Structure 1
Amino acid sequence: MTQADWIAVDWGTSNLRVWAMSDSGTVLDAAQSNKGMSGLTPDAFEPALKELVDPWVSAKTPVIACGMVGSRQGWVEAAYDIVPCPVTVQQLARPAVKDPNLDVRIIPGIRQMDPADVMRGEETQIAGFLALNTGWDGVICLPGTHTKWVHISAGEVVSFQTFMTGELFGLLSKHSVLRHSLSDDLNPAGFNRGLDEALSRPATLAARLFSLRAESLVGEQDPADATGRLSGLLIGAELAGAKPYWLGQNIAVIGAGALSKLYVDALATQSVQAMQVQGDRATLAGLTAAYRHFKE
């Protein structure tokens, strides 16, 4: 039976992932469930966590959590830090946990006042990346449902901007007329075409989107090509809007492999070389940094 020195938790909107950790930061075991924040009432968080971690815990095992578990709709609200702020994951909130074997701490998110913006979970990945890349300055892109572009200087978040690109893709591909023209596959050639169209003329995005449907009605457009083009159009429009962030900067892209690679490849078409970083590695490094601060 695995005995954890502490437990790392990434609790998102849709999923809960946990790792049994040694004191030195080695992963001993891992588990996950689909009991994300959006499907839980406040009194259901503790049982959902215990269901996964009970075999690993002893008296007062520390639990360091990040993500939407600390949102207003989560287990307990962990107040946002205000930009500019050092990404040191030093402020840890503690919810009321009844189980005598758990000592849960939640890493707060970050808020920006003007223009208004927020993040939860990404700040832990940023802290982990900086722990693994000491002294790094530049811009971090975190692709996802709500993609973040974050300017980092001297270990601080200077500013950031969120793009709803992933959510727009989900809505358009599943709940719009475009769903009749798409497939589950993504053709790289279609992606490159959409990317070029959006980067060169971002103002025509809405018209280009409808052309995806029209081309499947009047011609023989391959659904995988249409899916690639939709992705390229949306990411291209995002890159056009985020150009002040990525132009002339060191770039790191942190996230899931396939999606992150789309961003890395898209930036390469603009002669921008980006470092691709595996999301789980950055998350665990950030949670480990928070655990070490907790011990101090």
Structure 2
Amino acid sequence: MTQTVSSAMVDWIAVDWQADRIAAVALGAKGIVGRRETREVASAGPQSHEAALLALIGDWLRPGGTTPVLACGALGARDGWIETPFRKVPVALDPAADLVAAPASDPRIQVWVVPGLSQERPAEVMRGEETRIAGFLAGNPDFDGVLCLAGITTKWVHVSAREVVSFRTAMTGELFACLSSHAALLRDPERAGRDDGAFAEAVGQTLSRPERLASELFSIRAEGLLRGIAPATARARLSGLLIGAELAAMRPYWLGQQVAVIGTGDILDAYVRGLAEVGIVAETADGASMALAGLAAIRAGMRTGTA
């Protein structure tokens, strides 16, 4: 998406850099003045990352001036623009702490990268999600419970007193994508449709008996051959079986807790429906909005001299 924005309107730029896309938001005195997104992500190395960023936001920059750019996500990884050290949990979420300056060669930008979080036992890491957590807490400072950051990998994060206490990651979205396209479980994985009854039944199956996941997955293929089940039903069963198994594994996180799900679209909806099957009415928040809110909190911290 392209958008014409006068560089005079831009005070700073927020960047959410994920593995498969880069989203940039230009902000000025009156708030958001422009948005752009690209799937043209960079290859390894600082020069490639700087070139990808300039291709997206170059015309937003003031000639002869320097625009602050605050970024989170994959550009801080080992093969990113500059590797940023993880902050180890348990850790207070001071969103402006330990920012790392990226080595930009273009004098029109000063790029700051938000560090991710890590956990020793069990071993865990996150990059980008910490900014969504900070964004959610900026609007919900008294939240005490669990955040479910739903995506291609989903993170369950225990938050208390504005501190990340612990977190776990599930690769459910990646498993769904692999099984959909490579295991012949779905005859037409791209077809739209929804079968809430099949989803709920499948969640219950693996929530109560997660050890049966592998065999229940094959039953989707068998049902397709023997009964010709509808694509929407097959898709719902696959999603429900995987989310049910994840809920079983993450029971210590959601049981008896206040839960909020951060995400977007069908993935957010699936987790909300899955949690409803265990009696939890989850709050929801949009992932992109929370990333921007987190970066805005960082910017405010920098202005008050805490970074």
TM-score (norm 2): 0.92
Note closer, same or farther for the CA distance 1:182–1:18 as it changes in structure 2 (3 Å cut).
closer
1:22 CA drift (Å): 1.9
**Structure 2, unpaired ranges of 5+:** none
Which amino acid letter does the alignment assign opposite residue 60 of structure 1? T
Partner of 1:32: 37
Determine if contact 1:183/1:224 at 8 Å carries over to the other structure: no
Deviates more, 1:75-84 or 1:186-195: 186-195
RMSD: 1.4
* 1:46 equivalent among 26, 45, 50: 50
Deviation digits for residues 245-284 of structure 1, max 9, x if unmatched? Answer: 0011111100113211211111112111110111111111
Which amino acid letter does the alignment assign opposite residue 181 of structure 2? K
* 1:137 equivalent among 139, 144, 149: 144
Determine if contact 1:195/1:236 at 8 Å carries over to the other structure: yes
Aligned-pair identity in percent equals: 44
**Residue 280 (structure 2) pairs with residue 282 (structure 1):** no
Partner of 1:75: 81
**Residue 211 (structure 2) pairs with residue 203 (structure 1):** yes
Which amino acid letter does the alignment assign opposite residue 40 of structure 2? K
Paired residues for 1:184-223 under 5 Å: 184-185=191-192, 186-223=194-231
Deviates more, 1:204-213 or 1:219-228: 219-228
**Structure 1, unpaired ranges of 5+:** none
Partner of 2:256: 248
Partner of 2:70: 64
Number of residues paired by the alignment? Answer: 294
1:189 CA drift (Å): 2.5
Other structure's SS at 1:168 match: helix
Determine if contact 1:67/1:120 at 8 Å carries over to the other structure: yes
TM-score (norm 1): 0.95
Other structure's SS at 1:177 match: coil
1:179 CA drift (Å): 4.0
* 1:163 equivalent among 170, 179, 196: 170
Partner of 1:231: 239
Return the alpha-carbon distance in structure 1 between the equivalents of residues 281 and 58 of structure 2. 44
Deviation digits for residues 147-180 of structure 1, max 9, x if unmatched? Answer: 0000001110000000000000011111113244
**Residue 132 (structure 2) pairs with residue 125 (structure 1):** yes
1:286 CA drift (Å): 0.2
1:41 CA drift (Å): 4.5
Determine if contact 1:6/1:23 at 8 Å carries over to the other structure: no
Return the alpha-carbon distance in structure 1 between the equivalents of residues 140 and 129 of structure 2. 16
1:183 CA drift (Å): 4.8
Return the alpha-carbon distance in structure 1 between the equivalents of residues 189 and 10 of structure 2. 45
1:181 CA drift (Å): 6.5
Partner of 2:18: 12
Return the alpha-carbon distance in structure 2 between the equivalents of residues 163 and 136 of structure 1. 23
Other structure's SS at 2:271 match: helix
Return the alpha-carbon distance in structure 2 between the equivalents of residues 81 and 23 of structure 1. 32
Return the alpha-carbon distance in structure 1 between the equivalents of residues 51 and 237 of structure 2. 43
Return the alpha-carbon distance in structure 1 between the equivalents of residues 189 and 173 of structure 2. 16
Deviation digits for residues 43-66 of structure 1, max 9, x if unmatched? Answer: 211111111212222211000000
Stretches (4+) displaced over 6 A: none
Which amino acid letter does the alignment assign opposite residue 101 of structure 2? R
1:6 CA drift (Å): 0.2
Determine if contact 1:181/1:212 at 8 Å carries over to the other structure: no
